[in-house]
Chain A
Amino acid sequence: NAGVTQTPKFRILKIGQSMTLQCTQDMNHNYMYWYRQDPGMGLKLIYYSVGAGITDKGEVPNGYNVSRSTTEDFPLRLELAAPSQTSVYFCASSPLTGPEAFFGQGTRLTVV
């Protein structure tokens, strides 16, 4: 059982480039989340989704976009990368029947 899978694991972007961080889960979870973790800091919620076709902003949504066309996938899009978006990004999911979240291994993004 793969759980929550994030790709890529590492990426270096130049300022102004765009990219999509992929997240997929095979547990049929309704809820999915994107967080960023800055060095020595906690996790900040970027966007979350309570089901296919539904997304909501979290604490720090500016500069990001998401979509949820299927239950399994929740990609995070950066349109114009900025150095302030250098961070580790975590995707998570949780089921309808239980409150805890299950995390992917993270994507380390550096914008130069």
Chain B
Amino acid sequence: GNSVTQMEGPVTLSEEAFLTINCTYTATGYPSLFWYVQYPGEGLQLLLKATKADDKGSNKGFEATYRKETTSFHLEKGSVQVSDSAVYFCALRSNNNDMRFGAGTRLTVKP
């Protein structure tokens, strides 16, 4: 079946450090890929998306590239801020329209 595997957390970084959160997926066909962010006590918010191979999604300084050859969609940011502290979820939506999420990675950014 379809599934998403993402890097175990938690991740703790200093402000202005480089961030990478790894995500790989298993799916038939050509899924759409997403990164969602969850702030404490809130629901999930879409951070970025990519709908086909080699697409790059970007938003608020975060980027991820859809790599079909490695079935990956790693999240990166060049310089994190304290306000980026949250839980990040990688997700896919398959051709039959179910959406699957990874386990989430908690990021803490210290000043």
Q: What is the total of A-B residue contacts with beta carbons within 8 Å?
A: 58
Query: Known contacts being A43-B89, A50-B97, A99-B32, is A105 close to B102, with CB within 8 Å?
Result: no
Closest residue to B106 on the A side, CB-wise? A40
| Of A58, A99, A102, A104, most B-chain CB atoms within 10 Å | A99
Number of A interface residues at 8 Å Cβ cutoff, please give it: 24
In the complex the two chains form, what is the Cα distance from A103 to B91 in whole Å? 13
Interface residue SS majority, chain B: strand
A109 at interface (Cβ–Cβ under 8 A)?
A: no
Give residues of chain A (87-105) contacting chain B, Cβ–Cβ below 8 Å.
90, 92, 94, 99-105
In the complex the two chains form, what is the Cα distance from A37 to B51 in whole Å? 25
B29 at interface (Cβ–Cβ under 8 A)?
A: no
Least CB distance from A21 to B in Å reads 14
| Shortest beta-carbon contacts, A-B, top 7 | A99-B32, A42-B103, A103-B43, A43-B101, A103-B44, A42-B104, A99-B93
